[in-house]
Amino acid sequence: MDNSEKITELWKKTLLKLEEELGVEPVDLWIRPIKPLFMDDNSIKIEVPDSIIYEKVNTRYEGKIIKIIEELTGRVININYSMSLEKIKPQPKQEPLFYQEIQPPRKNSFNPNFIFKSFVMGNSNRWAYSSAEAVAKNPGTHCNPFFIYSQPGLGKTHLLHAIANEMLNKNPQAKIIYTPSENFVNEYIEAIQTKNIERFRNKYRKLDCLLLDDIQFLAGKDKSAEEFFYTFNPLFESKKQIVITSDRPPKELSLEERLISRFLSGVVADIRYPELETRIAILRQKNESLSFQIPDDVTTFIGENVKKSIRELEGALLTVGNYCINMNIQPSIDVVKQLIRDKKIAGNQDEDDSIINVDIIKEIVADKYNLNLKDFKSSRKMEGIAFPRQVAMYLTCQLTNMSLPSIGLAFNKDHSTVIYARKKIEKEIYKDPFFNEVLNQLIKKIKTVDKSF
């Protein structure tokens, strides 16, 4: 095996280990575009496509890459960087630097793996997915601004890149910027320090689409938040698309009311923890793309036991697949159980699932809809009782490990009634985002009350 083959194989193993440690999204976004060139006794030379990826890898991921390569090779190494020639083609002389900086990003500056086709849609993310598709098809119209919120690792960044990729497919000249809020703040500070504030403003205010990730980072940074407010306004007024993500809904952000009201003037969609069917679909898609050949019963078991995020879900699959390959054993449920026991992958450790009591769910829902607790077990079918009862059944399905027959027993119904209730509430969530927000508030109250017992 020559040097190029060795380094290619080493880099593949490095990427897999990075995915296990960091998750698939950051590796796909920042590290996979890098090309390994060659390696000698104590250094590895890699080619980065642009200065943005160089800066991110050099400051945030270099240490992790070095550690993994040293573990794989048993040698102390350092990294030497090379910039891709494709990215530094000379600009025509008549083009001033000012305009070079506000040219639309190249199409391949967005992760090509993050497209709508590769996003697994389920009830937990259907509203966000459908709205993102609508944004990409008709930017700056009915879904503007578009605000997505969820816990980390559930697919927000994937949707941002999918929007950008789809818009660029339709219009390769579109000016689109994706940036984490942290980068926005750092660029703003640098612009003030270097007295280039107008250049900064032209960069962000002359776009067709701004994709801003993790806006909660602006909390407490008043000047940066104010600058974003004045960036938002001209984009919105000129019907340019704005997409924002956060780890919480707009009303819970520690930002000025004038910003929050603008977020609420558009479409707000959340992504919840994926239900079992979606988790299994994600695992099967990833299993196929990686050619791991992990049996369906094993992927199903992983899906049943890893619930918190898609990142953890994919990380679990990567760990199981690589463990079985490296140990030369067949993937099995017993192997997964062992990896969970050894804490190599996250198991079903969501304490809320195990301690939430159905009686507390009933109390919170009864208080919300002004019911007596006995109404939950009554045979009356009037809407004022039946609907809250369906809400309580749905929340019990979501928040506890109770079986369908056990849930039915708690409400004096059979399991088929529970299934009907769950499907009905899922449809309501899809049709009415405001009802979805009501459910989120109920879940928050249930978890708060339950932990106090």
Residue 199 lies in a domain: yes
Band of the pLDDT at 111, cuts 50, 70, 90? confident
| Residue 367 counted as domain residue | yes
Task: Based on the fold, state whether residues 333 and 258 are members of the same structural domain.
Answer: no
Final residue before a domain boundary, out of 208, 236, 271: 271
Say which CATH number the domain at 266 has.
3.40.50.300
Domain match, 182 and 267 both: yes
**Last-in-domain residue among 240, 255, 271:** 271
168-196 residue pLDDT tens: 999 999 999 999 998 899 999 988 888 88
SS (H, E, C) 207-236: CCEEEEECHHHHCCCHHHHHHHHHHHHHHH
Residue 214 and residue 245: Cα distance in Å, rounded? 5
Residues 61 and 162 in one domain: no
CATH number at residue 389: 1.10.1750.10
**For residue 21, what are its two tokens?**
């440690």
Instruction: In whole angstroms, give the CA distance from residue 308 to residue 19.
Output: 17
360, 344: one domain: no
Top mean pLDDT of 231-235, 288-292, 317-321, 446-450 is at: 231-235
Give the CA radius of gyration of the chain: 25
CATH code of the domain covering residue 14:
3.30.300.180
Domain's final residue, options 349, 370, 402? 349
- Confirm whether 102 is domain-assigned: no
CA atoms within 13 A on the CB side of 404: 9
Distance set, CA 181 to CA 152, 211, 244 (Å):
15, 10, 10
On whether both 286 and 413 belong to a single domain, the answer is no
Considering the domain architecture, whether residues 250 and 385 belong to the same structural domain is answered as: no
- Same-domain status, 38 and 131: no
Q: pTM, whole model, 2 decimals? A: 0.56
How many structural domains is the chain composed of? 4
> In this model, does residue 159 exceed pLDDT 70?
yes
| CA angle, 260 then 398 then 441, to 5° | 30
Beta strands 241-246 and 176-180 are: unpaired
Cα distance between residue 311 and residue 274, in whole Å: 11
Between CA 22 and CA 20 the distance in angstroms is 6
At 103, is the pLDDT very low, low, confident or very high (cuts 50, 70, 90)?
very low
The answer to whether residue 98 sits within a structural domain is no
Residue 219 identity: A
CA torsion sign for 146, 149, 152, 154 is negative
What single letter denotes the amino acid at residue 44? I
Domain co-membership, 251 together with 372: no
Could you tell me the residue range of the domain that residue 48 belongs to? 3-88
Q: What is the pLDDT of residues 298-354, one digit of tens each?
A: 888 888 888 777 888 888 898 888 888 888 888 888 888 888 776 667 665 444 444
293 in the same domain as 183: no
- State residue 93's pLDDT score: 39
**Same domain membership, residue 10 and residue 29:** yes
Distance separating alpha carbons of residues 329 and 331, to the nearest angstrom: 7
pLDDT (mean) for 36-45: 83
DSSP letter at 125 equals: T
- Asked whether residue 284 is domain-assigned, the answer is yes
- Give percent above pLDDT 90 in the chain: 33
